[in-house]
C-alpha cells in the first residue's frame, strides 16, 4: 500500500502568515493527489486536484506543488476562514490512501 | 445541482450488519465512479470502497482493513450506491460519507454509524 505521511499533524499560525502543509508519498504517485479542506462538522471539500490544480471557487491564496515525492499545500496569506483540517489523498493506486490530516488553527 | 444523501446509519451491536444507502441527483450517475469514505470520531479520513461505472464493468475496490466485511454496489436506475458492512466492530464507529467520482468532487453530509452493545 502507498503510505501518505502528512505533516505537521497540527499547527497554529497568525493571520497573514504563509502556511505550508506537506504529504510525502511512500511510492511514486505521479501527480495523482487531491487536497481537501474540512471545517468542523462539515464534509470535506476538494481544494487542489492533480497536485497543483486549483478546484473551482477556491481562493487563489491556495496553491499546490510537488517536489519529488513531497506534495505541499500552501496558503500564501492566512485568513480566519482557513481554520480547518486539511487532508491529502493519493489515487494513483488501490487501496486509495489519505494522509493523517493537519489541524490548522489561528493564533 | 448535485445532491448526495446518505441514509441507513444508526446504532448497531458488535457483530451486526448494516446497509448504507446513497441517493444522488443532479448529474448523470451512470458516468461516474462512486466512493465511500469514513471518519472515526476525532480521526482522519479513511477511504473504504469504490465502484466503477458500467464502462468499467462495475469493478469494485476495497480498503484492506475492511475487505471481506464490506460490499459496495450500485443501482444506476436509481442513481444510488450502497455499502453493506458486516461483522461490525467498535472500530467501525464513524461517519460514513458517499462521494462522487475519481476526483471526490461532491460529498454527502455523511451518516453516523455507532457500533456498541
Least CB–CB distance from A95: residue in B63, B102, B107? B63
- Cα–Cα distance, A98 to A89 (Å, whole number): 4
Residue B99 pairs with which residues in a beta bridge?
A: B35, B107
Residue of B nearest to A92 (CA): B102
Tell me: the pLDDT tens digits for A13-49?
999 999 999 999 999 999 999 999 999 999 999 999 9
CA A78 to chain centre: 14
Contacts of B97 in chain A (CB under 8 A): 43-44
**How large is the average pLDDT for residues B8-33?**
97
d(CA B98, CA A73): 24
Interface test with B, best of A33, A44, A100 (most B CBs within 10 A): A44
**So what's the pLDDT on residue B64?**
92
Confidence band, pLDDT 50/70/90 cuts, at residue B67: confident
The yes-or-no verdict on residue B36 having pLDDT over 90 is yes
Q: Are B41 and B21 in contact (CB under 8 A)?
A: no
Q: State the average pLDDT for chain A.
A: 97
- From the list B61, B103, B109, the residue facing A34 with the nearest CB is B103
Q: Is A95 an interface residue toward B (CB < 8 Å)?
A: yes
User: Using one digit for the tens of pLDDT, what is the confidence trace for B83-112?
Assistant: 999 999 999 999 999 999 999 999 999 999
Name the percent of chain A in helix, strand, coil, to the closest 5: 5, 50, 45
The pLDDT mean for chain B works out to: 97
**Does B76 score more than 90 pLDDT?**
yes
Do strands A10-13 and A102-106 pair parallel, antiparallel, or not at all (unpaired)?
parallel
Q: Give the one of A49, A87, A95 whose C-beta lies nearest to B61's C-beta.
A: A95
pLDDT digits (tens, 9 = 90+) for A57-105: 999 999 999 999 999 999 999 999 999 999 999 999 999 999 999 999 9
Amino acid at each position: 500500500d502507498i503510505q501518505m505521511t502528512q505533516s505537521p499533524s497540527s499547527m497554529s499560525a497568525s493571520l497573514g502568515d504563509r502556511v505550508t502543509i506537506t504529504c510525502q508519498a511512500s511510492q511514486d504517485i505521479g501527480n495523482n493527489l487531491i487536497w481537501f479542506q474540512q471545517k468542523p462538522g462539515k464534509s470535506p471539500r476538494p481544494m487542489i486536484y492533480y497536485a497543483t490544480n486549483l478546484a473551482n471557487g477556491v481562493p487563489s491564496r491556495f496553491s499546490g506543488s510537488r517536489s519529488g515525492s513531497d506534495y505541499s499545500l500552501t496558503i500564501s496569506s492566512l485568513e480566519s476562514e482557513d481554520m480547518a483540517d486539511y487532508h491529502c489523498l493519493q489515487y494513483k493506486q488501490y487501496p486509495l490512501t489519505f494522509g493523517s490530516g493537519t489541524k490548522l488553527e489561528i493564533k | 445541482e448535485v445532491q448526495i444523501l446518505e441514509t441507513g446509519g444508526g446504532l448497531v451491536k458488535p457483530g451486526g450488519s448494516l446497509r448504507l444507502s446513497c441517493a444522488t441527483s443532479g448529474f448523470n450517475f451512470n458516468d461516474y465512479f462512486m466512493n465511500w469514505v469514513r471518519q472515526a470520531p476525532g480521526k482522519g479520513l479513511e477511504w473504504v470502497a469504490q465502484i466503477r461505472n458500467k464502462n468499467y464493468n462495475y469493478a469494485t475496490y476495497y480498503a484492506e482493513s475492511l475487505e471481506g466485511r464490506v460490499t459496495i454496489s450500485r443501482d444506476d436506475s436509481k442513481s444510488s450506491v450502497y455499502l453493506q458492512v458486516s461483522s461490525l466492530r467498535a472500530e467501525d464507529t464513524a461517519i460514513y460519507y458517499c462521494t462522487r467520482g475519481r476526483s471526490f468532487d461532491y460529498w454527502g453530509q455523511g451518516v453516523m454509524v455507532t457500533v456498541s452493545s
